[in-house]
């Protein structure tokens, strides 16, 4: 070995932390990974309005507020709309739709979109000071979710769009 190789080999050893320092660094890394896992499972929700203060406009605004808490890339665009009011024996239900798309420079009109349907329920049997109940479901699913129990995932939108595009391509190739 010549002197330069010895220096390089020796330099690597000089930069290696002592054993006890390495173990504490590994502990810190594992703690950081645990904290990261915990933050990934934090369910973000908003305080929903009381039934007595609810209007169609308030419902729309609160859905927009909820959506702003979701971890979705900024390239996703959406529009939301009120669909209908449904009068039931024990409640009133307000239906909304949020339509998502991924426009690009090459394709400003997305090839497919994905919708999320919201229902805001006002119970006739509970006091009107109670907050409204909120549920949502994806267009391709019958599973009904609650914002306070399940964190929305961008992957759900991607899956819907990918499935629609694949289906359209299969139909076009016939």
pLDDT bucket at 31, cuts 50 / 70 / 90: low
Structure tokens belonging to residue 22: 């390495």
Cβ contact 73:103 at 8 Å: no
Structure tokens belonging to residue 100: 């998502």
Structure tokens belonging to residue 101: 């798309």
Secondary structure element (H or E) that encloses residue 95, with its range: strand 91-101
- Tell whether the model's pLDDT for residue 3 goes beyond 60: no
Q: What is the pLDDT of residues 90-134, one digit of tens each?
A: 999 999 999 999 998 998 999 999 999 999 999 999 999 999 999
Predicted pLDDT of residue 173: 86
Q: What is the pLDDT of residues 73-87, one digit of tens each?
A: 999 999 999 999 999
Give Cβ neighbours of residue 57 (< 8 Å, ≥ 6 apart): none
What percent of the chain has a predicted confidence (pLDDT) above 70? Answer: 76
What mean pLDDT is predicted for residues 140-148? 95
Long-range contacts of 117-123 (CB under 8 A, 24+ apart): 118/63, 119/93, 119/94, 119/95, 120/54, 120/59, 120/62, 120/63, 120/93, 120/94, 120/96, 121/91, 121/92, 121/93, 121/94, 122/51, 122/54, 122/91, 122/92, 122/93, 122/94, 123/51, 123/90, 123/91
């Amino acid at each position: 070995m010549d002197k330069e190789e010895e220096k390089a080999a020796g330099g690597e050893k000089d930069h290696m932390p002592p054993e006890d320092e390495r173990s504490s660094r590994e502990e810190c890394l594992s703690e950081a990974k645990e904290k990261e896992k915990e933050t990934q499972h934090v369910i973000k929700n908003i305080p929903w309005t009381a039934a007595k203060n609810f209007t169609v406009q308030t419902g729309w605004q609160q859905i927009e507020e909820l959506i702003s808490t979701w971890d979705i890339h900024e390239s996703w665009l959406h529009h939301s709309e009120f669909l209908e009011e449904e009068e039931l024996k024990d409640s009133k239900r307000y239906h909304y739709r949020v339509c998502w798309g991924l426009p690009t420079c090459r394709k400003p009109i997305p090839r497919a979109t994905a919708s999320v349907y919201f229902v805001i329920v006002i119970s006739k049997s509970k006091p009107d000071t109670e907050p409204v109940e909120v549920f949502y479901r994806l267009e391709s699913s019958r599973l009904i979710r609650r914002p306070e129990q399940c964190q929305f995932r961008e992957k759900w939108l991607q899956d819907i769009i990918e499935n629609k595009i694949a289906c359209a391509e299969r139909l076009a190739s016939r």
